[in-house]
Every structure is written in structure tokens, then in C-alpha cells.
Structure 1
Amino acid sequence: MIILKFNVSILLLLICAPWNVHSLYNHRKNNRLEIGMTMVKNTTAKAFGAYCLDGSLPAYHISRGFGSGASNWILQFEGGGWCNDVESCLGRSNTRRGSTHYMTKVEIFNGILSNNISQNPDFYNWNRIKLRYCDGASFAGNSKFDNGTSLMYFRGQKIWQAIIFDLLPKGLANAEKALLSGCSAGGLATFLHCDNFTKFLPRNATVKCLSDAGFFMDIPDIANENTSRTFYNNLITLQGVEQNLDKNCTSTLEDPKLCFFPQHLLGFIKTPFFILNTAYDVYQLNHILVPPSADPRGPWNHCKLNISTCTPSQIQTLQDFRENMFEALYSFYKHSTSGGMFINSCFAHCQSEGWNTWLAEDSPIVHNKTIAEAVGDWYFERNVTKLMDCPYPCNNSCQNLIPA
């Protein structure tokens, strides 16, 4: 009798549930929390014009909160680089980075998305959302490419809005606490959308933002070329990003496109913000500081794969990069009363999504705090948390996860 009642309840839930049935796939396997994909409703996507590069529907993964965290929300942008020309975007549209057709339908929630209290004590019972990335412009574009042969949607801004509107009736509209987060290109998206996020939530909600490995620097490469600025300028133009950049920033700077860089945008963000980054971010080492175009003969190849093989002059270049980052963060460090920081001296990229770097016995530590402890102290205002590490190689808690 009990078994029959249970089965009927499940059947009714499958028939009546307003979200994709894949979202019911939410259980632990081999001690891993696996969360099924939820597609944005077709009507919502159509209303916003929110489509992945190839025209497929956007998606996210949701793990429901419980207990004291039932009214609290973490939204995390997925990362995965960018595309800044038609050729690279067309290639991307046929992969998981540009189409939900190719994405894994189940994602493992770890680190800050874990529901294990021992691994994620401050956020384990919150509603935890992962926004899948399929536009190639950090959820910020609003354009379309159609040459009669190929059609691509550059609709990251619309994807962001459509997912929010999909989540509002599921409880986000009544959030008491909220944290917008993201890693890499998703970390950059957090800078771009932080203040906008607050506008969707109740006035009395506690809303804050966390960028992990998203503080991409506006600096020349080792050949003194503005490789990163050129790359992002092309991206902004192709995908129609400029119209969605912070208006206070774009009206202030001589070149509005610079507002895509966190160091130029940061001073205009009003929402409390936490910056989690390594001082030697390996993605930036490989693509901004020493891109292939600046190292055609490859003297940096070994150094980029194994720091112990770097020459003294290469180490000095890395230390100069660290100093440039600290200079870019100086005003935020000195003057922000609501901001937080955890800048360690590890050679890694993204540290909030994995249990081993978020909160484990051997996780990276700065001033005797793990990343999870530092973020929790900042969010809940238990402590002023602005931690900046000493230069490499002083921190022996680093796992130096190379390459990225």
C-alpha cells in the first residue's frame, strides 16, 4: 500500500512538474552530488530571444536548498573561454561551449556547490544553481550573425535574463540571501552582472558577488603587444557587448570597451564583492602574459608547464605580473568597506569549484584561512577578509595545478 502511494506521487510529479524532468536527477553516486539539466522554457527563451550560439535552448542545473538555507540562493556562471570572430564562434557552436545539444546532461556539484556540510559549511543547504555557458561572451552579448549560409546567436545577455526569469517563480523572487558567483569566463560574468543581479531580488535581501579567477588583466604581453585588449575588443564588437556594459563606467572612460576588464569596472560596482584569484593565474600566464604570438620560438614552454624550470628572468616577469595585479587591486583593497579578497600565490585557475581547493585538509591557505573560510567570513561579516599572499614560492600549501 505504501509502495503504491509512493509510485503514484512520483508519477504525478513527472506529469505536473513545470521544469525539465532531468532536474529530478539529483542524488549522490560514489559520494558525488550529481544534478540533472533543466532547460529554459521554450516560451521564455522565445520571449527574450535567448538562444545558444547554434540556436539551442539555454540550460542550468538546480539543487534545491533545505532547512535554514531554503530561502537562500547561489547562482554560479559556468566558465569556458570566449570566441571573438566568426570562425571561432562557428567552431564553438558545434561543441558543448556553444550548444546545449552537446553538453553533459548531468553535472557534479562540488566545492561551493556541494551539499555536504563538512565540505561547504556556509552554503551547503542553499539553493545552488549552475548556469551553463553557451554564448562565448561571458553572458554579455546581444547580437546575431546571419550571412545566408550560417546563423549564430550572440545572446548571452538574453540568456542571463531568461534564466533569471525562469528561476524567479521557483523561489528566487523571495530570496533572503543570495550570492552570484562564477569561475574564469564565468568569473568575468560576475563582474559584468553583479549590480544587475540585485535588481531582480527583494530590497531587504542580502546580495553579494564572488568572482573566481575572473580578474583578467589589461596589460601588454611579454612582447609589449596589447594582445588581450585586441582580443576582447573584437569579441565586444562581434557579439554586441558594449551596449550591455556598465553605463557609469562607459560614460567615464575614453574607451568604453575597457569596461569589459574588471580592473576598470570594479570601482563602479556598488554590490559587495569578493575577488578570489591567484597572483599567478595560469590561464592568464598562457594567454595574456605569454600568448603563443608573443613566444613564437617557445622559450617559455617549459616554464608554463613546470614553474621549477623557469629561468630567473622568467620568474621576475611573473613577479612583475603579480605586482601589476596588486596595483590594479590597490584601491579596492584600501577603500572598499564591503569587499573581500583572497589572492594566493598558487599557479592555478579556478579554486571554488573543487573540494580540494575549496575546503580540504590540504587546501591552499593564506593567513591560516582556507578559501571557504575566507569567503564565509566575508559573506556573513564574521571578519574583515582581505587576504593577499606573499610572493612565490613562499606558500607551501599551494597545489600548483598546472596547466590550465
Structure 2
Amino acid sequence: MVDSGSGRWLSVLACFLLFLKTDGLYVPITYVKNAVAKGAVCLDGSAPAYHLDKGFSTGINSWLVQFEGGGWCNNLTTCLARKKNHLGSSKQMAKLLAFSGIMSNRRRFNPDFYNWNRVKIRYCDGSSFTGDVHAVNPATKLHFRGARIWLAVVEDLMAKGMRHAENALLSGCSAGGLASILHCDSFRALLPMGTKVKCLSDAGYFINT
């Protein structure tokens, strides 16, 4: 039996969860299908993907690009396991992704970036978007092409307006935070000279213990 105090808190919790469910921002997935011909593919050979929520008003020419996190695979066993889930195959990725925090479109919760173009690059190469191995082992059929994925996604975003960016922030958490460090210079180089570029790494500095 639930007492009145507990019942009240359960009601509040239920309302809060309902609020999150109905008011949340869910952004559809975009597959970069033409990237496959360039060899820019996930571990399993599927097309890379991202989620884009377009900016508006004063943020229409500002871009926040965030790398998805998810650790690394560092041997054949872990990479083979990884290619069977969303961290190694776009075929396994959710078609809708919740945007919250600095990805939110609500000014109350995200006053600095709510009206920017906000992009989440899905992580499916297992090495923070750094691999560029041309050969594919016929036994494992693993593709290590993270660096190509990065360039293919940026090219796709450029065609969707990022080439006109006035402000751009590259970010990520964990393995995505490491990717934001590793690709900060290339992000700067790929954007127009007049673009104000910053990079933000959240928990992306890995200490080898």
C-alpha cells in the first residue's frame, strides 16, 4: 500500500516522465548513401549517418556539430561484436534520436545554441573517426574507415548550408570528445576562413592507466 506522501511523489514523477515524452525533440536519421562509393562506411560496410535539426532566426548560419560517443573496439573480437549493433552498423541505429542538453531546441534549457543548426554524427567506426584502412579482411569483413566517414559527413553538411557558417562548434563526449580533439584542426580547415570556429571536448582526454 502506498501512503499519501509517496503517492504524491509518484504522481509528480509520472507527470514529469509524461512531459519528457511529449515535449522531447526527436530528430530523424539521415544516411549519407553516396559515401559508400567513397569507402566511407561503418564497421560492417553500411552507410554513415547523422541527425540534423535545422537552425532558425539568428542561429541560421551557426552550426553545432557533435560526435556521438561510445568507447573503442581495440581487437578483432570487440570489433566483430560491435559491428552487430548501432556502434558498428547504421542498419542497427534508431531512426529517431532525442536531442537534449546543448542539442535542445528550447531556449529555456539551451540559451546559447537552441536556434543553431545542431548535428549529431553517429559513431560506427570504433576508433573516434580515425581509421582509413583501404583493405578489408575477407574473413572478418571489417571496415576501418572513420576518417573517411568524417569527411563524407562534413561534405554532406556543407551542401546543406554549413559552407555559409558564421559560427561553428565541434563537440563530443567520451570517444566523441576525443574525436573533437583529433578533428578540430581539420574542422577549421574545411570551413570558410571567416567562420569563427571553436572545439569542445567533454570527457575526451583518455589517460592510459
TM-score of the aligned structures, taking structure 1 as reference length: 0.46
The structural deviation recorded for 1:147 is: 3.9
Show the counterpart of 2:175. 185
Aligned residues: 190
Show the counterpart of 1:44. 35
Residue type of the alignment partner of 1:45: V
RMSD, matched Cα: 1.3
Task: Name the larger-Rg structure.
Answer: 1
Residue type of the alignment partner of 2:29: M
What is the CA–CA distance in structure 2 between the aligned matches of 1:103 and 1:145, rounded to whole Å? Answer: 25
Indicate yes or no: 2:54 matched with 1:55: no
- 1:74 paired residue among 61, 64, 73: 64
What is the CA–CA distance in structure 2 between the aligned matches of 1:215 and 1:130, rounded to whole Å? Answer: 20
Q: Is the 8 A contact 2:51 2:119 kept in 1?
A: yes
Q: Structure 2: where are the runs of 5+ without partners?
A: 1-19
Q: Is the 8 A contact 1:145 1:152 kept in 2?
A: no
The structural deviation recorded for 1:79 is: 0.3
- 1:140 paired residue among 130, 142, 147: 130
Higher relative contact order (CA 8 A, sep 6+): 2
Listed one character per residue, the Cα deviations across residues 308-356 of structure 1 (whole Å, up to 9, x for unaligned) are xxxxxxxxxxxxxxxxxxxxxxxxxxxxxxxxxxxxxxxxxxxxxxxxx
Listed one character per residue, the Cα deviations across residues 225-249 of structure 1 (whole Å, up to 9, x for unaligned) are xxxxxxxxxxxxxxxxxxxxxxxxx
Alignment of 1:246-261 (within 5 A): none
Show the counterpart of 2:98. 108
Q: Is the 8 A contact 2:69 2:172 kept in 1?
A: yes
The structural deviation recorded for 1:200 is: 1.3
TM-score of the aligned structures, taking structure 2 as reference length: 0.88
Q: Is the 8 A contact 1:98 1:133 kept in 2?
A: yes
**Higher fraction of helix:** 1
The structural deviation recorded for 1:43 is: 2.5
Q: Is the 8 A contact 1:44 1:166 kept in 2?
A: no
The structural deviation recorded for 1:86 is: 1.1
Q: Are the structure 2 counterparts of residues 62 and 147 from structure 1 closer, same or farther at C-alpha, using a change threshold of 3 Å?
A: closer
Indicate yes or no: 2:181 matched with 1:159: no
SS at match of 1:76: strand
SS at match of 1:217: coil
SS at match of 1:160: helix
Indicate yes or no: 2:188 matched with 1:198: yes
